[in-house]
């Protein structure tokens, strides 16, 4: 049959052992009080607060800029320093060692590890503040350590960034000098090309002159076509009129009108003109209109022949000029391609050199500046604390009381269990009478 323990029995057990519980609790409280008030040395806490401006890199320009430009931008700007980075760097061993040397601390009592354990660095939430807390048995020493740690941290940060930016500046300077040589070589190559005969500009001027000449030739050709058509029309008209015009004219006139014939007739008629006055004669004379038209036709034929000859000469000149123009255009295309290549090479070299020069100047300025002083400020230096933060005497006594009660209750229950288990064993082992 299982034994059941009632609440009444538990209370009775506690009441029977109340003096034991009280004694243990009092002893625990006394020990805690003695240790807290007389044995454990007090610990003091000094606190300093820093306000920092996190160093974050600029967002690299987007768009056409290449990864090469982005790399140069990162080389010439501050390294990324967030608030958490600042917080972690406060307890850097190099800084702690400088603090130990600056304050000439006892090496038996203070070393890097022990000093680090006394430092608590906290980044205040939703602010750009860092709180540095130093705990030490000596209140004045706690304040000294806090006020020495802050400026050493600022100097360490400045020197670290300066060293890093110095390396970047040296790299950029070396590359800048190489790019300067490339720029000089590209400049000399472009100058030599521009100094050659038949440069791009000269060829372009020759081509423009040839084009203008061809345009003039074609204008003259158009005018000659008009003149040819007009001359041909005039020639056809003159020929048509000439075909209708007789070369000779048949004339019938009195013999008296012809002095020669009149003299002959008068001699045969005994010198009397009246006798031959009624006589007539027929004759042929050259038609003056025909002669004029014939001369005009000949003139027009000569003019037309001249126009045709001029057209042929102009067409030949156009063909020749066109051939020369095509040769110049081919040469210009070749020269232009080479010029574009050299110009592009020069432009790239110049842009690259200017980029390196700009980034080098930025890195050099960064190297010569004290970044720590510009981005960290002590807003609340540590003061010598007048009250210890440990040990917490009342809390220690209260905790000792609770622990004493727990130990006392456990002891009472254990003693009761031990007593009852002993009685039960005695009953089972008693011999029968």
Q: What is the mean pLDDT of residues 201-207?
A: 88
176 and 27 inside one domain: yes
Q: Do residues 33 and 121 both lie within one domain?
A: yes
Residue 109 lies in a domain: yes
Please determine, for residue 133, whether its predicted confidence score (pLDDT) is greater than 90: yes
Is 424 among the domain residues? no
Residue 64: pLDDT band with limits 50, 70, 90: very low
Range of the domain at 308: 200-354
**Dihedral in degrees, nearest 10, Cα atoms 122, 123, 127, 131:** 40
pLDDT at 63: 45
> Residue 411, preceding bond cis, omega within 30 degrees?
no
Check whether residue 29 and residue 121 sit in a common domain: yes
Segments of 31-147 assigned E as strands = 44-52, 119-123, 129-136
Query: How buried is 407 (Cβ within 10 angstroms: 0-12 exposed, 13-18 middle, 19+ buried)?
Result: middle
Joined tokens for residue 191: 């100058």
Enumerate residues 6+ apart whose C-beta is below 8 A from 316: none
Long-range CB contacts (within 8 A, 24+) of 397-402: 397/29, 397/32, 397/33, 397/36, 399/32, 400/28, 400/29, 400/31, 400/32, 400/33, 401/25, 401/28, 401/29
- Same domain flag for 303 and 390: no
What would the DSSP string read from start to end of 208-246? HHHHHHHHHHHHHHHHHHHHHHHHHHHHHHHHHHHHHS-
Q: Is residue 7 part of a domain?
A: no
| Residue 2: predicted pLDDT | 45
Indicate whether 26 and 96 sit together in one domain: yes
Q: How confident is the model at residue 308 (pLDDT cuts 50, 70, 90)?
A: very high
- Indicate if the pLDDT at residue 430 is higher than 60: no
Per-residue model confidence (pLDDT) at position 255: 63
Answer whether residue 173 shows pLDDT above 80.
Answer: yes
Which pLDDT score is estimated for 223?
93
Determine, yes or no, domain membership for 105.
yes
Highest mean pLDDT of the ranges 105-114, 148-157, 215-224, 356-365: 215-224
401, 29 Cβ separation under 8 angstroms: yes
In this structure, how many other beta carbons lie within 10 angstroms of the beta carbon of residue 176? 20
132 and 240: one domain?
no
Alpha-helix runs per DSSP H in 369-433: 371-375, 393-429
> The tokens of 431 are what?
């011999």
What's the pLDDT score for residue 225?
A: 92
Separation between Cα atoms, residue 281 and residue 256, nearest integer Å: 10
Q: How confident is the model at residue 307 (pLDDT cuts 50, 70, 90)?
A: very high
Looking at the structure of the chain, the number of domains it has is: 2
Q: What is the mean pLDDT of residues 195-222?
A: 89
Is the per-residue pLDDT at 287 higher than 80? no
How far is C-alpha 389 from the geometric centre of its chain's CA atoms?
55
Reported in sequence order, the residue ranges of 19-118 that DSSP labels E, i.e. its strands, are: 44-52
pLDDT of residue 433: 43
Q: What is the CATH number of the domain that holds 175?
A: 3.30.1890
pTM score, whole prediction: 0.51
Rounded Cα distance between 338 and 198, Å, is: 13
Name the pLDDT band for 5 (thresholds 50, 70, 90). low
Same-domain pairing of 174 and 310: no
Q: Which of 354, 372, 389 is the last residue of a domain?
A: 354
Q: Which residues, listed in sequence order, are joined to residue 47 by a DSSP beta bridge?
A: 133
* Shared-domain flag, residues 311 and 369: no
The answer, yes or no, to whether residue 67 has pLDDT greater than 60, is no
Q: State residue 426's pLDDT score.
A: 63
The answer to the question of residue 91 being in a domain is yes
364 in Cβ contact with 169 (< 8 Å):
yes
Q: What is the pLDDT of residues 380-426, one digit of tens each?
A: 888 988 888 877 778 888 998 999 899 989 998 888 888 878 766 66
Which of 81-90, 226-235, 259-268, 314-323 bottoms out in mean pLDDT, i.e. has the lowest? 259-268
Digit-coded pLDDT (tens) for 23-61: 999 998 898 888 877 878 888 899 999 888 765 555 554
**What is the pLDDT, as a whole number, of residue 54?**
62
Residues 304, 374 within the same domain: no
What's the confidence (pLDDT) of residue 277? 58
Chain-centre distance of CA 8, in angstroms? 85
Shared domain check, 350 and 218: yes
Indicate if 212 and 349 belong to the same structural domain: yes
371, 158 in Cβ contact below 8 A? Answer: yes
In 3D space, the residue among 369, 341, 354 whose CA is nearest the CA of residue 175 turns out to be 354
Does residue 366 share a domain with residue 345? no
What CATH number is given to the structural domain containing 225? 1.10.287.370
Tell me the backbone φ, ψ of residue 259, rounded to 5 degrees. -60, -40
Q: What is the tens place of the pLDDT at every residue in 233-278?
A: 998 998 888 888 887 777 666 666 666 666 666 666 555 555 555 6
Of 328, 358, 382, 379, the residue nearest 148 (C-alpha): 382
């Amino acid at each position: 049959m299982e034994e059941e323990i009632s609440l009444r029995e538990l209370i009775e057990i506690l009441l029977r052992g109340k003096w034991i519980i009280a004694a243990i609790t009092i002893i625990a409280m006394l020990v805690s009080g003695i240790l807290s008030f007389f044995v454990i040395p007090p610990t003091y806490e000094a606190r300093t607060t820093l306000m920092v401006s996190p160093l974050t890199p600029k967002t690299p320009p987007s768009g056409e800029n290449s990864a090469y430009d982005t790399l140069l931008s990162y080389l010439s700007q501050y390294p990324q320093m967030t608030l958490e980075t600042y917080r972690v760097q406060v307890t850097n061993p190099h800084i702690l060692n400088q603090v130990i040397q600056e304050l000439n601390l006892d090496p038996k009592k203070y070393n890097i590890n022990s000093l680090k354990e006394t430092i608590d660095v906290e980044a205040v939430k939703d602010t750009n503040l860092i709180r540095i807390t130093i705990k030490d048995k000596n209140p004045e020493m706690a304040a000294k350590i806090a006020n020495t740690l802050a400026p050493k941290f600022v100097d360490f940060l400045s020197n670290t960034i300066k060293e890093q930016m110095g390396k970047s500046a040296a790299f950029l300077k070396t590359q800048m000098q190489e790019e300067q040589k490339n720029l000089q070589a590209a400049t000399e190559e472009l100058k030599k090309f521009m100094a050659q005969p038949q440069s791009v500009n000269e060829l372009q001027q020759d081509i423009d002159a040839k084009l203008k000449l061809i345009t003039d030739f074609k204008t003259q050709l158009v005018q000659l076509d008009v003149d040819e058509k007009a001359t041909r029309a005039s020639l056809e008209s003159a020929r048509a009129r000439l075909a209708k015009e007789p070369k000779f004219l048949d004339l019938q006139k009195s013999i008296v009108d012809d002095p020669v014939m009149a003299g002959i007739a008068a001699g045969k008629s005994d010198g009397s003109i009246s006798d031959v006055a009624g006589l007539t004669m027929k004759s042929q004379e050259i038609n003056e209109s025909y002669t004029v038209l014939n001369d005009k036709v000949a003139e027009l034929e000569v003019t037309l022949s001249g126009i045709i000859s001029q057209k042929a000469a102009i067409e030949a000149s156009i063909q020749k000029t066109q051939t020369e123009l095509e040769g110049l255009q081919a040469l210009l295309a070749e020269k232009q391609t080479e010029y574009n290549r050299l110009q592009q090479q020069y432009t790239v070299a110049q842009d690259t050199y200017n980029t390196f020069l700009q980034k080098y100047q930025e890195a050099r300025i960064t190297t010569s500046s004290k970044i720590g002083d510009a981005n960290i400020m002590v807003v609340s230096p540590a003061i010598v604390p007048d009250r210890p933060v440990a040990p917490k005497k009342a809390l220690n006594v209260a905790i000792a009381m609770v622990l004493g009660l727990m130990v006392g209750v456990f002891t009472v229950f254990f003693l009761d269990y031990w007593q009852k288990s002993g009685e039960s064993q005695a009953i089972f082992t008693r011999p029968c009478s």
